[in-house]
Amino acid sequence: MTQPTTVSLFQPIRLGHETTFYVQMQSPWVMHSSKTPTLNWVIAIHLVLTARKGVSSMQLSKELGVQQKTAWYMLQRIREACRQGDFKLANVVEADEIYIGGKEGNKHKGKRLNAGRGGVGKTAVVGVRERGGKTAAKPDAATLVDFVEERVEAGSTVHTDEAKAYKALPNLINGFRHATVKHSAGEYVRGAVHTNGMESVWALLKRSIQGTWHHVRQSTWPGMSMKPPSAERRQLRS
C-alpha cells in the first residue's frame, strides 16, 4: 500500500516571471492518482455541496465536458470523502419514518400488487435527526426502535409521532426521554415538541428522487448519513 506523502498542500514553483501553483495530495485523498484536472474536481465538489437536491452523474458530465462514467467515478469518491462513519446523536433528537416507492396507480398493470394502499410495495426508511445537527437513516422500519437505540446517545430526548413502535423507547436501557405529537389529531407542534426537522429532510429527499435521481436502489441506503453542507465542508477539509 502506498504511504501518504507529507508535502504542503499548495507549494509554489517559479517559472520565469510567473509563479505557478500545483497541488500534491496525500494518497488517501479524494483526488489521489486521478488524471482529471484539479479544476474539474473543485467544480464537482462545489456542486455536490451546494445542490440541495443532489447532482446526477449525467448532469455533472455536461457541466464538466467529460464522459458520464468519469463524472460517476468523481461523485462516488466525493461522497466517500464525506462519509463520517458511525456517529451518535444527542440532546434533542427527532425520529420519523417514511415509505419510498412509486404509487400503485402509476405502475404498469402487470406490476401492481393490488394489496392495499399506504406502504404496500414500498421500502420503509427510518431516520433520526439531531436538532441543528446531523441526520442518519436506514431502510428498515422493522428495526425502528433498535436503530434509534443504536444511533442516539443514552439519556437524550427523542421526539416522535404517535406510532405504537415508539412506545418502547422510555423502557429501554438507554433511558430515553420520550415526547410525542399526535399527527392523527392535527397536532404537529406542541411547544418545543415536533418532528418538523426530520420531515423536512424527507420532503427534500422525495424532491431529489423525483427531480434528480428518478430511481434509487435499496442497496444504496444502508449506512447512509445525511449532513448539512457545512458539515460536509468540514469533513472534506480534514
- How many other C-beta atoms can be found within 10 angstroms of the C-beta atom of residue 56? 19
pLDDT tens for the chain, 238 residues: list them: 444 443 344 444 444 555 444 445 555 667 777 888 889 999 999 999 899 888 999 999 999 999 999 999 999 889 888 776 778 999 999 999 998 877 777 777 777 776 666 667 788 889 999 998 899 988 876 678 889 988 999 889 999 999 888 888 877 767 889 999 999 899 999 999 999 999 999 999 889 888 888 877 766 654 444 444 444 444 444 4
CB within 8 A of 25, min separation 6: which ones? 9, 31, 32
DSSP the chain: -PPPP---SEEEEEETTEEEEEE---TTSTTTT--S-HHHHHHHHHHHHH-TT---HHHHHHHHT--HHHHHHHHHHHHHHH---S--B-SEEEEEEEEES--GGGS-GGG---S-STTTTSEEEEEEEETTS-EEEES-GGGHHHHHHHHB-TT-EEEE-S-GGGGGGGGSTT--EEEE--GGGT---BTTB--HHHHHHHHHHHHHIIIIIS---GGG-TT-EE--HHHHHHHHH-
* pTM > 0.75: yes or no: no
Q: Under a CB-based contact definition with an 8 Å cutoff, are residues 127 and 137 in contact?
A: yes
Phi-psi region of 114 (alpha: psi -120 to 50; beta: other; left: phi over 0): left
pLDDT number for residue 2: 42
As given in the structure block, the three cell numbers for residue 55 are: 447532482
Q: Which three cell numbers stand for residue 195?
A: 418532528
Q: What is the pLDDT of residue 219?
A: 65
Task: Give the up-direction half-sphere exposure of residue 20: CA atoms within 13 A in the CB hemisphere.
Answer: 4
